[in-house]
Amino acid sequence: MNPVAAFPNVYFLGIGGIGMSALARWFQANGHRVSGYDKTATPLTEALAAEGIQVHYDDAVESIPAEVRQHRAQTLVILTPAIPQDHREWAWLREQGYDIRKRSQVLGLLTAGRYTIAVAGTHGKTTTSSMVAHLLHHAGVPCAAFLGGISVNLGSNVLLPPTNNEQGTTDNLPVVVEADEYDRSFLTLYPDIAIVTSTDADHLDIYGNKEALVESFRQFVAQIKPGGTLILNHTADQSIAESVAAGVRVIRYGLSPEQGPELYADQITAQGHQFRFDLHGPLGNVQNLALAVPGYHNVENMLAACLVAQLQHVGEEPLKKAVAAYRGVKRRFEFIVTKGDKVYVDDYAHHPREIDAFLRSLRALYPGKRLRVIFQPHLFTRTRDFAEGFAQSLSLADEVVMLDIYPARELPLEGVTSELILSQITAPRKSLQTKAEVLAAAESDDTFDVLATVGAGDIDQLVPRLRNILDIRWNGAEA
């Protein structure tokens, strides 16, 4: 029996989060009455409201829908870690004895007993999980998916399983899950297939040091079911493979055979916005794959996704067509405006290695072009821990514009500001600006060919306004 079927009401604290909203959509589609709180209205919360989900933005017990307040035993409350300890609604729900679960715990319940494909890693997991879901869906393999971003192909962060299929039930269909290492959330999952894209140091506010983070990955891969498969990036800590259970197959992947993986790409070429490559792997080779989402890191991500598709018996031709049809994830190497050799790209990168991969790919696509990067650091702790790495990766640009740190769940740390990164950047031009100054510069300063907005905070609020400005300047479009 579905373990959450006993709860006709589902109430979300932090419903606007990308992972939380995916769960909200799943519950709504499965006949539950869904409602929730979030701090501010966003396009995502507005989309949920348009889909019939009740959302409010004031932290007040009286704003909780009546059916939730009056039917405690019939209500499941789902909580995001971003909710502060002094939140009034959360305190009241605790006092009243509601069943309150973390998002990760609910994902564990929903995937229990299902064939689970989990994608983990300190970066690359959103793109890779969206690739897996897309390849299977496009090739006609019935499946479900919970994603950490809005898939352009699906137009959503959740893929609902078909209501009718040959088996007559959705319980045994594969489910693709983005497995989040933050707060050790992924330890609620017991996958049949696990991809680990990276184990770089991150979330040190939670883990304290990299070894503790790597240990959590060891625990995660130890939960792969017997007879399952671990698909491990060659740059990840290889010691985690020693923790898999007996009978779990380990397949390593990377960009070239020189790196020693069993799964690799060669003949990689950049043609316009497209990357072409050949796949060589233990389940067969596939030549001349065309990936419309650029970036060497995305070629690597697609290698892992293709192997999952092969494990699910997707043939060569359907696989090639599915790869060619993939259009990416919102805010992951997303082309916003193009005009000849001038381009504006937006990306969610918020770790030094992600930024390095993104900017190197931009350089490969636009060699010799003047590159301006607008970057918003995400979290005071991450800025403190990786300031030197951020500066090194951002120095690949010709000009770096820094915004103030986006705090998210954190309080300020003494001495930790964007200047900590800016002072170490070696790019020819660098500055600290407000969002208003960024917009003013876009209207008057044309000393760049390629513009990139980068970061995981609220920098995305700049994107539509920059799009309008550059549309008018470059294309003569109406705003």
What is Dmax (Cα atoms) for the chain?
64
389 is in an annotated binding site: no
Which residues have a Cβ under 8 Å from the Cβ of 222 and sit 6 or more positions away? 243, 244, 245
383 appears as a binding residue in the annotation: no
Q: What is the rounded distance in angstroms from the CA atom of residue 305 to the CA atom of residue 36? A: 33
64, 190, 195, 250 from 234: Cα distances, Å: 48, 22, 12, 11
Q: What is the spatial distance between Cα 42 and Cα 237, in angstroms, rounded to a whole number?
A: 37
286-291 and 334-339 beta bridge pairing:
unpaired
CA-CA distance, 122 to 198, in Å (whole number)? 6
Taking the C-alpha atoms of residue 261 and residue 380, their distance in angstroms, rounded to an integer, is 36
Distance of CA 211 to the CA centre of its chain: 23
Determine whether 278 is exposed, middle or buried from the number of CB atoms within 10 Å of its CB (0-12, 13-18, 19+): middle
Amino acid at 410: E
Residues composing the chain? 479
56 is in an annotated binding site: no
229 is in an annotated binding site: no
Say whether 126 counts as a known binding-site residue: yes
Q: Any binding-site annotation on 125?
A: yes
Closest by CA position to 47, among listed 330, 302, 399: 330
The annotation status of 127 as a binding-site residue, yes or no, is yes
User: What is the sign of the dihedral through the CA atoms of 240, 175, 183 and 152?
Assistant: positive
List residues forming the annotated binding site: 121-127
List residues forming the annotated binding site for ATP: 121-127
